[in-house]
């Protein structure tokens, strides 16, 4: 009898080696080229993705549904009230049942332990569509967008201004793997987790990148090729919104901050709280690549789906 093959999941950036991450980005570019040319490859014909949502979404739902359609498969949306993970039915039972019906599961949730528990009990690939710890699909789209607009990633200077949240964590880990020189600027107390920074710094020493965490946004963006921001208050933190607005008051990405950066492009993973972490004139400026970034969720995730299922 053949030994069982270890099931492959995509729960965190660390699930990809440096070479796998580079290869995945190039594959996503190729898939985007084929899509733009009207080529109708259907490598996932007959495959089904279950999308389990515990948190609301626009880009995650639409990009996965459209991606599966492009690839010849089908995506099934399961709303929070339909599954009620851990309440109506245990996470292990949901994992085992869905594994009998579908070819992969995407979960968008809160606690990262929820997605890792689902993966432990599933016999099909599990994809992290967002958790409190990481947003790896977003980081793939981010790096794909920078690759398109700035060319080679190694040595590129990226400034992240804002909260050290799940998006920042995945961005930090991906940037380190690709040799990017990243500076993260947050108010004191809002830095990305020390474990993330330490892991990224160790990787960056091998790739020629770097990771610095500072508390001065102007110093962070000086000489940057890319300036990236995200909301100051994420889902589930609404009770902190007043305190966070006060803490982040000097961290808005506006025209004055962009003048400090020089000839940088601007990114935001959306949804944006315009007038809070970023101003209208910046997000609508010629330097904004925000909506290319949103589109690239589709192409990056198609690459992930193909690698896990094709």
- Report residue 234 as tokens: 């994420």
Q: Quote the CA–CA distance of 233 and 238 in Å, as a whole number.
A: 6
Chain center to CA of 37: 26
Burial class (CB in 10 A: 0-12, 13-18, 19+), 152: exposed
Q: Quote the CA–CA distance of 265 and 285 in Å, as a whole number.
A: 9
- φ/ψ of 107, rounded to 5, equals -120, 130
Q: Quote the CA–CA distance of 260 and 246 in Å, as a whole number.
A: 22
Secondary structure (3-state) at 225: coil
Which residue is catalytic, options 168, 177, 268, 269?
269
Which residue is catalytic, options 47, 70, 138, 244?
138
Q: Quote the CA–CA distance of 250 and 264 in Å, as a whole number.
A: 19
Secondary structure (3-state) at 266: strand
Query: Has 297 been annotated as catalytic?
Result: yes
Query: Has 269 been annotated as catalytic?
Result: yes
Q: Which residues lie across from 213 on neighbouring strands?
A: 184
Query: Has 138 been annotated as catalytic?
Result: yes
Which residue is catalytic, options 297, 299, 301, 306?
297
Secondary structure (3-state) at 21: helix
In which order are the strands placed within the sheet that holds 210-214? 210-214, 181-185, 157-161, 226-229, 265-268
Query: Has 230 been annotated as catalytic?
Result: yes
Which residue is catalytic, options 47, 70, 114, 135?
135
Render the burial of 11-26: b for 16+ CB within 10 Å, e for the rest. bbbeebeeeebbebbe
HEC profile of 180-207: CEEEEECCCCCCCCHHHHHHHHHHHHHH
Which residue is catalytic, options 22, 108, 147, 177?
108
Q: Which strand (E) or helix (H) includes residue 66?
A: helix 59-70
Query: Has 216 been annotated as catalytic?
Result: no
Which residue is catalytic, options 230, 293, 299, 301?
230
- φ/ψ of 231, rounded to 5, equals -60, 150
What positions carry a catalytic annotation?
Answer: 108, 135, 138, 230, 269, 297
């Amino acid at each position: 009898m053949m030994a069982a093959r270890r099931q492959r999941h995509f729960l965190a950036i660390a699930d990809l080696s440096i070479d796998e991450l580079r290869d995945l980005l190039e594959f996503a570019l190729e898939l985007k080229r084929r899509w733009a040319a009207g080529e109708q490859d259907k490598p996932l014909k007959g495959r089904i993705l279950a999308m389990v949502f515990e948190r609301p979404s626009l880009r995650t739902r639409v990009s996965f549904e459209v991606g599966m359609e492009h690839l010849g498969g089908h995506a099934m949306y399961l709303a929070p009230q339909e599954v009620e993970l851990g309440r109506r039915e245990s996470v292990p039972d949901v994992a085992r049942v869905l594994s009998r019906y579908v070819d992969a599961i995407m979960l968008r949730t809160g606690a990262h332990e929820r997605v890792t528990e689902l993966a432990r009990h599933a016999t099909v690939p599990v994809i992290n569509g967002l958790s409190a710890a990481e947003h790896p699909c977003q980081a793939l789209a981010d790096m794909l967008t920078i690759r398109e607009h700035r060319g080679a990633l190694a040595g590129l200077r990226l400034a992240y201004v804002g909260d050290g949240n799940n998006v920042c964590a995945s961005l930090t880990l991906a940037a380190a793997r690709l040799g990017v020189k990243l500076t993260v600027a947050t108010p004191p107390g809002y830095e990305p987790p020390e474990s993330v920074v330490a892991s990224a710094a160790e990787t960056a020493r091998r790739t020629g990148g770097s990771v610095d965490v500072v508390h001065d946004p102007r110093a962070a963006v000086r000489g940057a090729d890319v300036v990236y921001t995200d909301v100051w208050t994420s889902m589930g933190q609404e009770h902190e919104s007043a305190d966070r607005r006060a803490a982040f008051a000097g961290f808005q990405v506006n025209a004055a901050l962009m003048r400090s950066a020089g000839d940088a492009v601007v990114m935001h993973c959306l949804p944006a709280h315009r007038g809070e972490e970023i101003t209208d004139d910046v997000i609508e400026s010629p330097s904004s690549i925000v909506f290319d970034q949103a589109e690239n969720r589709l192409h990056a995730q198609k690459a992930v789906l193909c690698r896990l299922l094709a």
